[in-house]
């Protein structure tokens, strides 16, 4: 499917709704456009589960170059990276060395955070172990937690004493019902419960940074209301949303004084990532289907 679908122009055109292009140049150009609207960004090179150490080395070099270009352009653009893209499957020590180098580079003025993405459930423990070891040395490193996993509430409680940077998302990988909530309503309830716990923890003054990664308008409204009830400033947390999704909502939140950061994905390995975007929002599939039957 990946080999066949990516040849079609209409599929590539549909993908451009969610990513500005396959190159870092395209990502940074989009980052500059959003910066003009007062919206900072995250950038991520698509790809995961690499099979050669040389590939992981090349990704690390790419990100180091991207950091230099971000700094030279004066952009507020942070990195979001997948551990398996930096060699976690091959050698955890290799992945740790690459992340150490990226986080050190991002710590230079102006300092930025390197966010560690969470992949499928087999990677949760290795990723959290990696994060804890890095957080002991670096303040500017964050990690993603997925609300659809039953275990996430316990994982969050274990991380909070570290004064972590947490991005909370619903989760986009296909997981068995033995370990993940199978129904959207249950995932939404879990997300809200976790979000409220993070809002409660924000008043602790322990360096906690929170990014809520969702486009769900009902969750956004309830979390903002919960923050207001607690007397939490809109600037005390961040909405982290995907490029091309809910653009007007991104602008509305920014105008209302909330911190908004947009995740820009780029790269040639976009097919599995795009399939997850379709699964998250079935209406996106209709756009592709209309193009199929129009041919």
Q: What is the pLDDT of the chain when averaged over all its residues?
A: 89
Are 174 and 295 in a shared domain?
no
Are 82 and 193 in a shared domain?
yes
> Which class for 228: exposed (0-12), middle (13-18), buried (19 or more C-beta within 10 A)?
exposed
Are 14 and 135 in a shared domain?
no
Q: What is the pLDDT of residue 292?
A: 42
Task: Measure the CA–CA gap between 244 and 233, rounded to whole angstroms.
Answer: 27
Q: Say whether pLDDT at 8 is over 70.
A: no
Contact 165, 238 (CB under 8 A): no
Are 58 and 94 in a shared domain?
yes
Are 170 and 282 in a shared domain?
no
Q: What is the pLDDT of residue 287?
A: 45
Instruction: Domain count for the chain, please give it.
Output: 2
CATH number at residue 197: 3.20.20.220
Report long-range pairs for 48-55 (Cβ below 8 Å, ≥24 apart).
48/82, 48/84, 48/85, 48/119, 48/269, 48/272, 49/84, 49/89, 50/84, 50/85, 50/87, 50/89, 50/90, 51/89, 51/90, 52/90, 53/87, 53/90, 53/91, 53/94
Catalytic center residues: 117, 167
Are 8 and 115 in a shared domain?
no
Q: What is the pLDDT of residue 295?
A: 43
Q: What is the pLDDT of residue 288?
A: 47
Task: Measure the CA–CA gap between 235 and 134, rounded to whole angstroms.
Answer: 26
| Range of the structural domain that residue 178 is part of | 21-269
- 56 vs 1, higher pLDDT: 56
Q: What is the pLDDT of residue 150?
A: 98
Residue 113 burial (CB count, 10 A): 20
Least confident of 18-27, 110-119, 277-286: 277-286
Are 32 and 47 in a shared domain?
yes
What torsion, rounded to 10 degrees, do the Cα atoms 25, 30, 35, 40 define? -90
Are 15 and 41 in a shared domain?
no
Are 105 and 243 in a shared domain?
yes
Are 11 and 28 in a shared domain?
no
Q: What is the pLDDT of residue 268?
A: 77
At 36-54, the pLDDT tens digits run 999 999 999 998 899 999 9
pLDDT bin (cut points 50, 70, 90) of residue 275 is low
At 102-123, the pLDDT tens digits run 999 999 989 999 999 999 999 9
Are 159 and 278 in a shared domain?
no
Are 141 and 246 in a shared domain?
yes
């Amino acid at each position: 499917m990946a080999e066949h679908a990516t040849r079609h122009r209409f599929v590539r055109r549909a993908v451009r709704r969610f990513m500005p292009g396959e190159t870092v140049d395209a990502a940074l150009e989009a980052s500059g456009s959003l910066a003009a609207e007062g919206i900072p960004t995250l950038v991520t090179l698509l790809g995961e589960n690499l099979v050669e150490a040389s590939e992981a080395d090349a990704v690390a070099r790419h990100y180091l170059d991207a950091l230099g270009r971000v700094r030279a352009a004066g952009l507020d653009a942070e990195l979001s990276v997948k551990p398996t893209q930096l060699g976690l499957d091959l050698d955890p020590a290799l992945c740790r060395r690459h992340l150490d180098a990226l986080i050190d580079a991002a710590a230079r003025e102006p300092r930025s955070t390197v966010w560690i993405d969470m992949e499928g459930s087999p990677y949760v423990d290795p990723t959290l172990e990696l994060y804890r070891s890095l957080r002991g040395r670096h303040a500017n490193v964050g990690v993603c937690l997925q609300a659809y996993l039953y275990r996430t509430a316990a994982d969050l409680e274990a991380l909070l004493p570290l004064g972590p940077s947490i991005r909370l998302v619903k989760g986009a990988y296909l997981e068995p019902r033995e370990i993940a909530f199978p129904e959207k309503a249950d995932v939404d309830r879990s997300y809200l419960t976790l979000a409220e716990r993070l809002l409660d923890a924000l008043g602790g003054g322990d360096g906690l940074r929170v990014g809520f990664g969702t486009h769900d308008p009902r969750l956004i409204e309830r979390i903002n209301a919960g923050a207001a009830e607690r007397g939490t400033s809109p600037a005390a947390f961040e909405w982290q949303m995907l490029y091309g999704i809910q653009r007007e909502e991104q602008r509305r939140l920014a105008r209302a004084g909330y911190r908004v950061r947009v995740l820009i994905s780029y790269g040639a390995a976009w097919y599995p990532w795009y399939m997850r975007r379709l699964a998250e929002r079935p209406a996106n599939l209709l756009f592709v289907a209309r193009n199929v039957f129009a041919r």
